[in-house]
Amino acid sequence: MRAYYFDNIPGDQRLPHDSGNSVSNETLRALHVLHWSISIDDTGSWEHQIDGVAKERGYKNRDIINVTKKALGDMYETKLKGFFEEHMHEDEEIRYMLSGRGYFDIREHSTEAWIRVQLTPGDLLVLPAGIYHRFTLDENNAAKAMRLFKDEPKWIPHNRGVDTDANTYRENYVQSLKGNPAV
């Protein structure tokens, strides 16, 4: 996994948009963003490691999502646009990248800057409930990821706005950052 500040230069969202300013693991942890690198291998040991993380964090369900034109058909462009709208969820968002590559952009609360996190196969990312973020593929236009859920699978985005800023999960997230000088 690689994290850096988004360059904010207009252009295709699927390009790297690398400002050249790296973001440390400490900054991500201060935002309550977690990451594991679990190499995918033929022995299946990665599955046992995912099971361990799932048990430790209380994830009971999982599914696989293929974000490709072939898999999503006529909904492909609409889905990509929806994923790239700034939003938050009332649950953690957990993704384990199985193949392809993509970017999660995470809003740094104190500066409002975007932090771009590049995921490649073997990266497991956990975004806390209430954090503003967005997702896009890279220029190869394909990603396959395992999604993990604490309860029944659901994915309800709450696009950023006045009502979402007042959402209890958002308020709890912002409160959890108070007193943390890194954010």
Are 137 and 118 in contact by the 8 Å Cβ rule? The answer is no
Q: Nearest CA to 132 among 48, 45, 32?
A: 32
Binding residues for Fe(2+): 87, 89, 93, 133
Q: DSSP code of 5?
A: E
Compute the distance between CA of residue 126 and CA of residue 174 in angstroms, rounded to an integer: 17
For the chain, domains (ranges, CATH) are 2-6+21-174 (2.60.120.10)
The CA-based angle 81-144-94, given to 5 degrees, is 80
Binding residues for Ni(2+): 87, 89, 93, 133
Are 174 and 109 in contact by the 8 Å Cβ rule? The answer is yes
pLDDT (0 to 100) of residue 183: 58
Helices and strands counted in the chain (H then E)? 6, 12
Are 61 and 148 in contact by the 8 Å Cβ rule? The answer is yes
Binding residues: 87, 89, 93, 133
pLDDT (0 to 100) of residue 102: 97
pLDDT (0 to 100) of residue 52: 95
Are 50 and 96 in contact by the 8 Å Cβ rule? The answer is yes
Could you read off the pLDDT tens digit of each residue along the chain, which spans 183 residues? 999 999 999 999 999 999 999 999 999 999 999 999 999 988 888 999 999 999 999 999 999 999 999 999 999 999 999 999 999 999 999 999 999 999 999 999 999 999 999 999 999 999 999 999 999 999 999 999 999 998 887 778 999 999 999 999 999 999 999 876 555
Predicted TM-score of the model (pTM): 0.93
Q: What is the DSSP string of 115-142?
A: EEEEE-TTEEEEEPTT--EEEEE-TT--
Question: Scanning the structure block, which residue is given the tokens 């959890």?
Answer: 176
Compute the distance between CA of residue 170 and CA of residue 144 in angstroms, rounded to an integer: 28
